[in-house]
Amino acid sequence: MTNVIEATKLKKLFRPDDPSRLLAIDGFDFEMKEGEFVTLIGPTGCGKTTFLRIVAGFEDIQGGQILFKGKPVEAPDAKRGVIFQDIRLFPWMTVRDNILFGVKSRGIKAEEQKQKLKETMELMQLDNEALNMYPDRLSTGMRQRIGVARVLANSPDIILLDEPLNSLDWVTRDYIQTTFLKLWHETKKPILFVTHNIPEAVFVAQKVVVMTARPGKTKSVVNVDLPERRWELRRDNDHYLDLVKTTSRLVEDELSKAREVEKVVGY
C-alpha cells in the first residue's frame, strides 16, 4: 500500500530568525498508509498539532519534507479536510451555507450539492429546522457536528482531526467518535487524529503514535489490535485497558521531560 502521508526529517521553527527559541519539531519521521486510522499523542507542546497543521498546509517547514500521496504539501487543499478544536464556522452564514461552503467554492453542481447536504445531515443527525439558523445561537456540540458535516460534504481524501472533541459534552463526543469509526469502517478513508486524551486515542485508532517532548520526534508506535467494529467495544474490555496502560506509560516518560523543556524555553 502507498503512503498517504510521508514525513522525513521534518523540522519546524516558530521563529526562523532566532533558532534558539521554540524549535517545535526536529527530525520527525512519520508515515501513514492508505486506509489507516492513526492517532498522534504526546505531552503538551510536543508539536502534534503543529505537525497536523503542516500536513494541512497551514505551516511552512524549515527542513525535511512532507509528502501527501507522493506530492509535497504546499498549500491548504480541499483534499485534506481539517476539523478544528475551536470549530471555526462562519458566523455570518446559516448552517446550510456553512455545510455547503466547500462544495459551492469548488463549483459543484446544484443537484449534487443538495445530495451532499442530505447525506451529511443524515450522518450528523441534523434536522431541517437547524439549517436556517446562525451558528452563534447553537450549542458547542451542535456547532462541532456542523464543523464535521462541512468537511464530510467536501469528500476529502484524508480527514485531519485536531483535538476536535475537547470542549464537548459526553454525548456529542461519543456520537462524533462513533461517526468517525463507522465512516472509517465503511470507506477506509485515512484519518489522522491528534489528541492528548490517552483512552480516546487508543479507543479509536489502529495505530497510536506517541511523540516525545519538544522538539517532537516519534517515541514509539502502539499497534491497537482491537476488533474493527470499535463502536461496539466496551470501555472495560481488558485488552483495551492494557493498551491504554502501555500507552500511558510511554506518555508519562515524556511528561517530566516536557516540564523541563517548558522551564527552559518559557513563553
Partner 1 sequence: MNEIRNRALRAALPHILIWATVAIITLLPDIQAVAIETKVPILAFLVGASVFMTLLLGIGATKIFKKLSITRVLNFYDICSIFLTIVFVWELLANKFPVLDPMIFTCPTRVFQALVVKAPILLDSAISSMFLLVCGYFLGIIVGIVTGIVVGWFKVLFRVVYPVAKLIAPIPPVVYIPFALVLLPSVMYAAIFIIALGAFWPTFANVCFATHNVDRRVIEAAKMLGAKTGTILRRVILPSVLPELFAGIFIGLILAFIMLEVAEMVGASSGLGFYILSQRLLNHYDVVAAIIVVVGILVVICTVVFDYVEARALKWKVRLGA
- Residues of this chain that interact with partner 1 (CB under 8 A) are 56-58, 75-78, 80-82, 84, 86, 88-93, 101-102, 105-106, 134, 136-137, 150-151, 154
Residue with cell 534558539: 20
- Is omega for the bond preceding 215 within 30 degrees of 0, making it cis? yes
Q: Which is nearer to partner 1, 85 or 246 (CB)?
A: 85
Closest CA to 10 of 162, 216, 208, 190: 216
Q: Which is nearer to partner 1, 133 or 233 (CB)?
A: 133
Q: Which is nearer to partner 1, 160 or 201 (CB)?
A: 160
Q: Minimal distance in Å, beta carbon 267 to partner 1?
A: 19
Closest CA to 32 of 84, 86, 83, 80: 80
Q: Which is nearer to partner 1, 77 or 260 (CB)?
A: 77
The strand order across the sheet containing 158-162 reads 80-83, 158-162, 191-194, 37-41, 207-211, 218-223
Distance CA 211, CA 51 (A): 11
Q: Which is nearer to partner 1, 14 or 134 (CB)?
A: 134
Q: Minimal distance in Å, beta carbon 109 to partner 1?
A: 15
Phi, psi of 66, rounded to the nearest 5 degrees: -130, 120
Q: Minimal distance in Å, beta carbon 105 to partner 1?
A: 4
Burial-class residue 108 by CB neighbours within 10 Å (0-12, 13-18, 19+).
Answer: middle
Please report how many Cα atoms fall inside a 13 Å half-sphere around the Cα of residue 4, on the Cβ side: 21
Q: Which is nearer to partner 1, 135 or 215 (CB)?
A: 135
Distance CA 17, CA 163 (A): 30
Residue pair 121/48 in contact (Cβ under 8 Å)? The answer is: no
Q: Minimal distance in Å, beta carbon 246 to partner 1?
A: 34
Q: Which is nearer to partner 1, 3 or 94 (CB)?
A: 94
Q: Minimal distance in Å, beta carbon 77 to partner 1?
A: 7
Q: Minimal distance in Å, beta carbon 136 to partner 1?
A: 5
Q: Minimal distance in Å, beta carbon 257 to partner 1?
A: 30
